Amino acid sequence: MCGIAGIVDGKPVRAEDLRRMTDALAHRGPDDQGAWIDGGVGLGHRRLSIIGLEDGHQPMSNEDDSVHITFNGEIYNYKELRKTLPDTHDVRTSCDTEMIVHLYEELGEKVVTRLRGMFGFAIWDAKRRKLMVARDHLGQKPLYYVHDGGRFAFASEIKGLLALDPSLRELDEEALWEYLTIRVITPPRSMFRRIRKLPPGHLLVFENGQVRVEPFWQLNFEPKRNGSDAELLDELDAKVQESVRYHLVSDVPVGAFLSGGFDSSIIVGMMAGITKGPFKTFTGDIRYGDYSEAPYADLVSDRYGTEKHRIEIRPSFVRTLPEVVEKLDEPSDPLALCLYHLAEMTRKEVKVVLGGDGGDELFGGYDRYYGNVTVNYYAMIPEFFRRSVMGPIIDRLSGGNWYRSVGHKLKWMQSMSFHEGGERYARSLGYFYFSEPWRSLVCSDAFQRRAASFDPEYTIKYYFDADNAKEAVDRMLHSDSRVRMPDHPVMILDRMTMAHGLEARCPFLDHELAEFCASLRPDLKVRGRELRWIEKRLAERYVPPEILNRKKQGFSSPLTYLLADEFQRMHDVLLRDASLVRDGYLDAAGIETLLTEHLEKRRDHGQRLWLLCTAEIWYRLLIEEQDLATVQAQLAGAAPVPVG
């Protein structure tokens, strides 16, 4: 796992420019650094040594120095790929990076079709004067770029590009509108107007001053697996085990995140059957009501004899949020705060950790999957009756404005019943954030007018309505796997682990396993009101029965309640005089309405207030270039001490 950067320009690349870019990515690769420059081309690298510890220095070149690569990620099938290389290649290292170089010599751009792993890389082909950039199938590794006149530049994180050119600090208004609506920023947008994000499963070619972007992989939900439920379960078991075995390829010890949920518990159970001795597991515990994950994680750890490590996460806006936002480069949600603390603890023990991300999107693990199917039946009631009779009754339900209450769920169903297809699914995701009424409340009139022609739900609808899936459940899974997953949980996992020089691997994000799951019948994923049906049958083989019957809660679920007292402070020192208000994006009165309703427990605006707080911190740090200490002092309610 590493950080990569590069420049292709019509004039000679300066070593100091490339060095600034890689220095900004030092947290991703604290073990080594390297640069290769040839006239108007420069490739930079920061390395976290996992495979080929002694001979994996990058950038790396082929035998005649005509192909050069800077690579971030892991190729798990690199040993098999090595066996397929013709004898004409002089293989000089034991690392996976070199396999990509030689395969590129054989296959050109089709090299990506042979790789099994997570990756973001750039190859400079000196003979063809062509740069090829690629990002893995499900977007585990990030890649950002800028094409400005005759210069093309790329980096693993936005901060690498900002280090090259500070003038790139311009807000993309459409990205802000999208973030407030659906909580993610979808490719090719980033929060910066001129910085683009390469979509998952895509490659980019920069040649003759032109950029070409095209997909090399897509996920097709065409049920074609024949066999009984039991036979398919056995096949799934073998497929997941194969992926776990691949993800354990490492020259350093590997640990595991363990939440006590299905996904991470299955991974730990399989690891125990593959590894030769005990390994370390890491649990983040948030103590709020009955939300604690620790008792369930302990059950799994005790069953498999792991060396368990636990951290009680006591989050704080003031202490941690500015640092987290700075590491993310873009605003996000409470999950980032939790993972930041968990990764910090984990890195003290191991350099590589397996996690359970991706299971919900493979097997249908969110309430909305059966919720949207249920809405189909409710929508059969005549519209007049739903509006005139059911609507007023549901509006009067007690607790109906509080997240996850029965009344709130019924209000959600009532609202969704007036939409269809991809539009309904997009609205179902944005309902808990800034759907239309709330956007109108908190966004300034001028900002709303400028954003009026932009559809912030377009990408979700596009993938939902694509031909890749036919059934409703598969359409939702397809949209999530292409939109929400790579740009929310997977993005957060990468940034928060790499912030501490920790490599996170996710067996459920193996693209061949994803293809297998996509080929399963929808009823094996969501059966009636039972979510991830086949994964539960798999879990019965690996996890204690107490875990099988627990409700899904999510790592960061209690955070907005745990931090309720800090929302008032955040408003007083951050939102009341928000830069986003001053610069014409948000409306101060609307924000105050949200806060008042939330503190008086009239409505649950915890998620919305979080998005606003995070966006404001991001704006001050990344657009206004306020330093971290200044923003932290602002949140503490004190001005920074003058220097000198």
Q: How many other C-beta atoms are found inside a 10 Å radius of the C-beta of residue 600?
A: 8
User: 320: which residues sit within 8 A by CB, 6+ positions away?
Assistant: 337, 340, 341
338 is catalytic: no
CA–CA gap between residue 615 and residue 621 (Å, rounded): 10
267, 355 contact by CB (below 8 A): yes
Closest to 561 (Cα-Cα) out of 615, 516, 598: 598
Q: Residue 153: beta bridge partners?
A: 7, 146
Cα-trace Rg, the chain: 24
Q: Give the type of residue at 134.
A: A
Cα 347 from chain centroid? Answer: 20
Reduce the secondary structure of 25-37 to three states and give it as a string.
CHHHCECEEEEEE
Q: How many other C-beta atoms are found inside a 10 Å radius of the C-beta of residue 282?
A: 28
Closest to 9 (Cα-Cα) out of 213, 212, 206: 206
Tokens of 131: 């740069």
Half-sphere exposure of 106 toward its Cβ, with a 13 Å CA cutoff? 18
199, 190 contact by CB (below 8 A): no
8-state DSSP, 311: E
503, 351 contact by CB (below 8 A): yes
For residue 282, give the 3-state DSSP assignment. strand
Choice among 2, 338, 517, 613 that is catalytic: 2
The C-alpha angle with vertex 641 and arms to 636 and 644, in degrees rounded to 5, equals 165
Cα 17 from chain centroid? Answer: 29
**b/e map of 348-374 (b: 16 or more CB within 10 Å)?**
eebbbbbbbbbbbbbbbbbebbbbbbb
Reduce the secondary structure of 362-392 to three states and give it as a string.
HHCCCHHHHHHHHHHHHCCCCHHHHHHHHHH
The residues annotated with a catalytic role in the active site are: 2
